[in-house]
Amino acid sequence: MVDARRAIVREFGRASGVVKMETVSLPPLDDDKVRIRLTARSINPSDLITISGAYPSRTSLPFVPGFEAAGIVEDIGAAVRNIKCGMRVLPVGTAGGWQDFKDTTPDWCLPLPDALSDEQAACSYVNPMTAWLMMTEVAGLKPGDRIAITAAGSAIGRMLVAIANARGIRPFALVRSSEAEAGLSGLDAVVLRGQHDRSAAMMLLEHSGPKSLNTIFDCVGGPEAQALAACLKPAGQFIHYGLLSGQPIPAEAWNDHPDMRFHLFHLRQWVHTAPRERLHAAYAEVTSLIASGRLTTAVRSRHGLANISAALADAETLSACGKVLLIDR
């Protein structure tokens, strides 16, 4: 039997307090599974939120966290025919990235191109896929469309701007700080930075005018959504994928704009309902953009899996920029 390390959560709470490391013996591999030796893992806000207990109905204790991890196929079950040992893959569909090995079915393994480093691969799924799918599958934008992106200085916000540029669109990019504005350097956008007396959403309404935008991508929510909705053309799209403000979108946003097409996007829901071929095709598009340098992810720190406590303490500092990675050299 082979011993392996894994991070385990046996109670919900603050990640740095409840995630523990343990060593276990690997069980025999099922005939229809592959075993991935994981080499690089991201710590995402969605991981921390799940560990906190925000989704108890779909999270059973105990569990191994980690939705984004890259590795190498180490072993294949007797019935597996469409994957080979030695392939670099990103196993998705379930948590379980914060460990040495992960067993999964082959059709949940996304092939990694040679052009992607392990670090790039470990950041190639959650944010890039969310940005790509919202921009292409949900919004269906075309060159010249007028769009706005809130929290545009965030990792996913910058990706949305970059994808918009690649599709011939110069978006309005709403930010709240000079640091976030500086993070958009090199991208083509009309940057609107909120001031003490005017929010970025109000500035957008002033700049674009009412009923002038095709689509808004929002991850903030809260009362500013009312001003954002006023910017949309009749039957315009409001694509919502986060709640950084901690406040829901007020009912007035819908009451005042009943023709607004509202989409609530969750990557997990899309991945588990889309045909598997469509998932693989979308990921191939995303990795080509990463390999070309159009989509990039800043990394602020790297830790070994054994030092996960320090890594989690770093990741919980949400005001800091860049990904925290768990890397095994």
pLDDT of residue 320: 66
CB 85 within 8 A of CB 109: no
Read off the pTM: 0.91
CB 198 within 8 A of CB 217: no
Residues of the chain short of pLDDT 70, as ranges, are 1, 197, 318-320, 329
Provide the angle, in degrees to the nearest 10, between the axes of the packed helices 155-166 and 126-133: 40
CB 130 within 8 A of CB 266: no
Measured distance CA(274)–CA(278) in Å, rounded: 6
Q: Which domains occur in the chain, in start order?
A: 3-123+297-327 (3.90.180.10), 127-267 (3.40.50.720)
Q: Can you say whether residue 33 is alpha, beta or left, with left for phi > 0 and alpha for psi between -120 and 50 degrees? A: beta
pLDDT of residue 245: 74
pLDDT of residue 207: 84
pLDDT of residue 318: 66
pLDDT of residue 247: 82
pLDDT of residue 148: 96
pLDDT of residue 205: 85
Q: Kindly give the pairing relationship between strand 19-25 and strand 3-9.
A: antiparallel
CB 7 within 8 A of CB 13: no
